[in-house]
Structure 1
């Protein structure tokens, strides 16, 4: 996606801003495709981050359950 380290919160805020601009029709037609592409990239990033976090949490829970048995 991009080289700069992006947090989930930053990606979500940018995505919300793009959605708001599209809903309020404040984006010019000239940049609409660029914004939609960026939104798509941000959605992909957020989904991957959520899946990764879910996987890590599940591993931690499994380790905790195994250590108490």
Structure 2
């Protein structure tokens, strides 16, 4: 059974990859793989944030319309 990726999981994995690259603990052989994964995680996080922002704005708009 595959676990669904959460924003927090993606962010933590991205932070780990960043630390590995910054401390040069990633070998040249896996560097491209790590950068590719980081790119995927960034795209996922951006999409999740956009979707959350849209949903929050929708909720706020519904609350405002209900108060008028």
Structure 2 length as normaliser, TM-score?
Answer: 0.95
Which segments of 5 or more consecutive residues in structure 2 lack a partner in the other structure? none
Shift of 1:39: 0.0
Q: Where do 4+ consecutive residues of structure 1 move more than 2 Å? A: none
Which segments of 5 or more consecutive residues in structure 1 lack a partner in the other structure? none
RMSD value over aligned CA atoms? 1.0
Write the mapping of 1:1-69 to structure 2, written as runs, cut at 5 A.
4-69=3-68
Structure 1 length as normaliser, TM-score?
Answer: 0.94
Task: Tell me how far apart the structure 2 counterparts of residues 30 and 4 of structure 1 sit (CA, whole Å).
Answer: 28
Aligned residues: 67
